[in-house]
Structures are given as structure tokens and as C-alpha cells.
Amino acid sequence: MPEGHTVHRLARALTDLFAGQRLTVTSPQGRFAGGAALLDGRVLAGASAWGKQLFVDFVPADGGTRAPDDVRVLRVHLGLYGAWTFAGDGSAVVVQAIGAPRRRIGETETLPPVAGALDEPVPLPRGDESPASASGPEGDVALEVVADAPVPDWQPPAPRGAVRVRLRGVHAVADLTAPTTCEVLTPSEARAVVERLGPDPIRWGDAARAGTEPDPHDDPQRFVDAVRRSRTPVGARLMDQSVVAGVGNIYRAEVLYRARLDPFRPGSSVPVEDLRAVWDDLVELMLDGVRTGAIVTTLPEDRVPGGTTGRHRVRQNSDAVPGAVPSDASFYVYHREGLPCRVCGNPVLVREVAGRNLYSCATCQR
DNA sequence: AGTACATGTTCAT
DNA sequence: TGAACCTGTACTT
């Protein structure tokens, strides 16, 4: 799945593309017909991410009060396979797709940075081209509306596959497929979901970067305390969204490696300073993930030129942009079972922890 | 064509 | 601990 950085990118994409617009909301697949009817014709007020949870606020179009009673919140969790794909009228610059790593619906590490740092705007595919030619620059491109007037006569492409929700705005459509959760909540119900989550390194980092007051919800001390409260292995604690929100299987393995921490160390035995360092590293890595759309954890000196040999999975859509870190050089341990550790040369191990494959180096991580 | 796989979570046992 | 769930892609026959 998309880890937290992906969901934060999505929140920005949806806000940048649709905020303030009255949307047509449908469920081409039909499984969300009831929910779509609750949102159809409303104005998208904004979208936000907490860990891997995406919330999209809708308010009445007729100048409702925006009182909590008037707000309906679309809550989406992408699960393992969920993704959004976008298509537009050519007047907007927008992400193509964000979600599970696939060819068509793939997030890649070869992308321009997100809005605000984009050098060359890339127009959306108009949706009237063949899939191959419509793919354009691969992957996940920042978005920014560059023209106010919608292109006349533009018709969005027919939904491809099982589209649970389609949001249609002035310039573009966003299609959601395969979410594990897609529901309409009241604001207080949405708040209850957030309150079950641990602190989110991306939200904390965003506040720090903006120089604004961070939400106490995202205070790293909550993370440190939660890990140390339990004898459960630290490698399992990091996957618990009530301990830290937004970390997934890649960030878990990689951040433990970078800290040289043995994933099987009981949480209660990990020094506070080490957990502080893990948090700081998560903030840095995940903010970078939001900026670039890719997870890259290797230091330049640890990347083997030309990549590694051996049969391990590499991501789709990779290596297309000059200067991008190749997908097979991005990680220290993730998906590198049996390959030599980039630092000590001993084979990378896999073991199942918290129901997922956890990769590590027994020599480097103690 | 069938099958394995995927950056996830929840519920049952 | 295991199964179920959401779907598309890439690989194998």
C-alpha cells in the first residue's frame, strides 16, 4: 500500500484540484451509490490526511453555514490495493495516479516534486487517447490549476475498472478504485477515527517546517511512550497505527536499519534517545516522500552504481527520469532478501513480524 | 487461461 | 495466527 506520504500527497492533490468547486459525485461501480448521493452536488471544502487515513470535507453548495452539522466527510483508506487515478481537460496540471504500485496506477520515484516545486507543469491526459499514449510522463505528477476556464466540450474518459467513486470538478475527474474503506462520516465520527491514531510524523514535520504550532496529537513523545510501554518487538510497534500513524512496511524496515536497531528488541528496552532519533528520521524520510512521491532511504555512498544483481522485485515506472534514484538502489533492506547488505555485505534476512515480511541485517542491527 | 503478488487492516479463532 | 477483503498487474501455463 501507499504509506502515509502517499495519502498526504493525495490530500494535497484533491485540495489543489477541487477545493471550492461543486462536484458531481458518482459511483460508477455502484457499491458506493448511497454515499455518493450524500455528497453529489456539494462543494469540496478541503482534504486532509492523518497517517494513512484520507478525509475529504464536503459542504452544502447553497451557502450552507459550514457548521459541523452541514459538513459531510468522505473517509477513504486505500488498504493494500487502493488507488486514485486522475484525468483532466488539459487546463490543469495534476497527478496522474496515486496509490498502489502498479503500472497504470503507480506511484513512482521518478516524479517531479509536488506543487510549488514543479519546474515544468505537465498537462493531464485528456482521457481521449489510448492508454499507452495517455500515460505521458510516468507516474505521479504535481498538480496546479493553470487556467480557470474549463475547456468546452471536454468529456471525462469512461471509468476504467471497478471505480468505487468518481469526483468530477471543473477541470478534472478523480476515480477511486479498490479502497478498503470508503464511507461518509459526520465530523465527530471522523474525529473519532483520528483519535485512535498515534502521532503522524508528516503532520509534525509540516508544522515544524511552516513554523506553526504543532498539534499535540502529533507530539513525538506519544510515540516514544507508546513504544516503551510494551515488551512487544519494536519492529511490531512501528506497524501499529496507534503508535505512529502513516508508517508502513517499507518505512518500518528502513528506519530500523538506518537506526541500526534490531527489530526484535522489546520496545521497553529501546532507549528514549534511540526512539527520538527514529522519529526524527521518520520525519525527514516521510517529508521527502511527500515531496518526491518516492521512498528513498539509501545514502548516496551506499548505492551501488548500476544497481544490484539478483532477483528481487523492483517497482514499476522506475528509472525514467534522469537523476532519480533507481528503484533497486532506494532501500537498504526492503525486498532485498538474500542480497548482500549494502554496508557489511552479509545477506539480508526476512522474517514475519506483525503479519508482514520484515527485512533486516542481523549484523548491522543490534 | 490461470496464478501469484502488492507500501494494509479487521475480525474470527 | 489465519482468513477475509478490496482490485489490477505481471508472470506462468
Give me the CATH topology for the region A198-360. Helicase, Ruva Protein; domain 3 (1.10.8)
d(CA A301, CA A281): 18
Architecture of domain A4-191: Alpha-Beta Barrel (3.20)
Using an 8 Å Cβ cutoff, are A227 and A243 in contact? yes
Instruction: Tell me A111's DSSP state.
Output: P
Q: Domain ranges in chain A?
A: 4-191, 198-360
How far is C-alpha A204 from the geometric centre of its chain's CA atoms? 16
Cβ of residue A316 lies below 7 Å from strand C: yes
Using an 8 Å Cβ cutoff, are A266 and A232 in contact? yes
d(CA A159, CA A312): 33
d(CA A314, CA A335): 8
Q: What is the pLDDT of residue A62?
A: 80
> How many Å apart are A172 CA and C2 C1'?
42
Q: What is the per-residue pLDDT across A158-170, written as a single tens digit (0 to 9) for each?
A: 999 999 999 999 8
Cell readout for A161 is 475498472
Instruction: Tell me A167's DSSP state.
Output: E
Closest Cα to residue A253, out of A196, A317, A332?
A332
Catalytic annotation on A263? no
Using the C1' atom of nucleotide C4, identify the protein residue whose alpha carbon is closest. Answer: A180
Closest Cα to residue A253, out of A331, A366, A327?
A331
Quote the strand ranges of chain A, DSSP E.
24-26, 43-50, 53-59, 72-77, 83-88, 92-93, 97-99, 144-145, 163-168, 172-177, 181-185, 349-353, 356-360
Give the contacts of A45 (CB within 8 A, at least 6 positions apart): A19, A20, A57, A58, A59, A66, A71
Instruction: Tell me A330's DSSP state.
Output: S
Cβ of residue A224 lies below 7 Å from strand C: no
d(CA A316, CA A329): 14
> Which is catalytic among the residues A9, A12, A42, A52?
A52
Catalytic annotation on A156? no
> How many Å apart are A321 CA and B9 C1'?
34
Mean pLDDT per 10-residue segment, chain A (366 residues): 91 94 96 97 97 97 73 96 89 64 35 31 38 28 46 86 95 94 96 97 98 97 97 95 96 97 96 98 96 92 61 38 76 93 94 89 96
Instruction: Tell me A365's DSSP state.
Output: -
Chain C bases near protein CB atoms (7 A cut-off): 1-3, 5-10
d(CA A39, CA A74): 8
Using an 8 Å Cβ cutoff, are A253 and A336 in contact? no
| Strand B CB-contacts below 7 Å | A 1-3, 6, 51-52, 77, 79-81, 100-101, 107, 180, 239, 241, 248-250, 295, 313, 315, 335, 355-357
Catalytic annotation on A260? no
